[in-house]
Amino acid sequence: MIMSEKLRSKNDAFPWPGCQQWRFLTMMAVVALAVVALSACSKRDQAQRAKAPAEGEQGSIEKCVESWASGKQAEAVEQFTALDWSKTPLFSTGESLGYSDQQVAHLSGAELEELTKKVSNLKALGVHVHKLAQEALAGQDRAKGEAYARSVSQCGEALDQAQNGTMVRQIGRAFQKLARQGGSRPQ
> Using CA atoms in the order 9, 14, 18, 22, what is the torsion angle rounded to 10 degrees?
-140
**Cβ 46 vs Cβ 58: under 8 Å:** no
99 phi-psi bin (left φ>0, alpha ψ -120 to 50, beta other):
beta
HEC assignment per residue over 19-32: HHHHHHHHHHHHHH
Is residue 99's pLDDT more than 80? yes
Residue 141, in any domain of the structure: yes
Helix, strand, coil tally for the chain in percent (to 5): 75, 0, 25
Highest mean pLDDT among 8-17, 33-42, 62-71, 90-99: 62-71
What are phi and psi for residue 83, nearest 5 degrees? -65, 145
| Least confident interval from 26-35, 39-48, 76-85, 133-142 | 39-48
pTM for the model stands at 0.66
What is the Rg, in whole angstroms, of the alpha carbon atoms belonging to the chain? 29
Residues 85, 174, single domain; the answer is yes
Does residue 109 belong to any structural domain of this protein? yes
Q: Are residues 39 and 64 in the same domain?
A: no
C-alpha triplet 178, 180, 184: angle, nearest 5°: 90
Q: Are residues 42 and 66 in the same domain?
A: no
The range of the structural domain enclosing residue 26 comes to: 3-51
- Asked if residue 130 and residue 42 are part of one domain, the reply reads no
Number of domains the chain is built from: 2
79 plus 45 within the same structural domain = no
Residue 122 lies in a domain: yes
CA 173 – CA 105 distance, rounded (Å):
21
> 187 lies in a domain?
no
Are 94 and 178 found together in one domain?
yes
Residues 35 and 71 in one domain: no
- Same domain, yes or no: 171 and 83: yes
Q: What is the pLDDT of residues 3-39, one digit of tens each?
A: 555 555 555 554 555 556 656 666 667 666 666 666 6
Q: Is residue 124 part of a domain?
A: yes
pLDDT at residue 65 greater than cutoff 60? yes
